[in-house]
Amino acid sequence: MFYQILRSLTSLEFFIPLIPLFVAIDALGILPIYVSLTSEMLPSERKRVVRQSLLTALMVSLGFLIVGKTIFSLLGISISDFKVAGGILLFILAVVDLIFPERTRTFPKETLGVVPIGIPLVVGPAVLTLLLIIVDTYGYLSSLICLILNLLFVWLVFTQSKWIMGFIKDGGTKGIAKVSSLLLASFGVMMIRSGIMDWINQISKQ
């Protein structure tokens, strides 16, 4: 058992979910929002917000992974259905990010790490949609490890926000956000296509 787990960890296929999750979370893209929301905070307060946001993101993701499929079974929803619906949602979210400018809002300091940073900035509909898809394709262990690695990258980006913003400037982060949105739209189209192909295969077998 341990040997099989170790062998899977050394496989490149095991880390395939890392890329779509990286694109969906888009840590560099949400960095300017994080900076603007925490600009008036003390360093200790920002550290608390980072811990709060990552813990919230992890707990919500784990909860969705655990009960997501059960809810689907009770409602009679198949993975193919979710692929199409999730793909449409990803595409719409990506298009909205591309077309409409960001709007500045104010949130209480005490819950800033939970909403809006933890949810929906770090883990939003796009990430939750992808999680269920990749779990069905690559399994729980691969999905969980790739999620944790991405959250560690978010932690690195947030804790080094001052240096990163000084290096790539605001224009650079906006450019990264636009490219990420395009990639996210592409993943959405791919998921729709995959779901439709699953439907066609199911019908052809009947």
Position 128 scores a pLDDT of: 84
Assign residue 59 the CATH number of its domain.
1.20.1250
172 within domain boundaries:
yes
pLDDT of residue 5: 44
Q: Is residue 200 part of a domain?
A: yes
Residue labelled with tokens 């790490």: 113
Provide the pLDDT for residue 172.
66
Measuring CA to CA, which residue among 43, 27, 25, 33 is closest to residue 116?
33
Judge whether 11 lies within some domain: no
Q: Report the number of distinct structural domains present in the chain.
A: 1
Sorted by sequence, the CB contacts under 8 Å of residue 50 that are 6+ apart come out as: 113, 155, 158, 159
The predicted model scores a pTM of 0.71
Cβ atoms within 10 Å, residue 43: 9
Structure tokens given for 75: 């409602």
For position 88, what pLDDT does the model report?
87
Structure token pair of residue 181:
């949105």
Instruction: Report mean pLDDT in 10-residue bins for the chain, 206 residues.
Output: 46 78 87 80 92 96 86 81 80 79 62 85 83 86 92 96 76 68 77 86 82
Q: Helices (DSSP H) in the chain: which residue ranges? A: 2-9, 18-25, 27-38, 43-75, 79-99, 125-138, 140-159, 161-205
Structural domain for 20, as ranges: 16-205
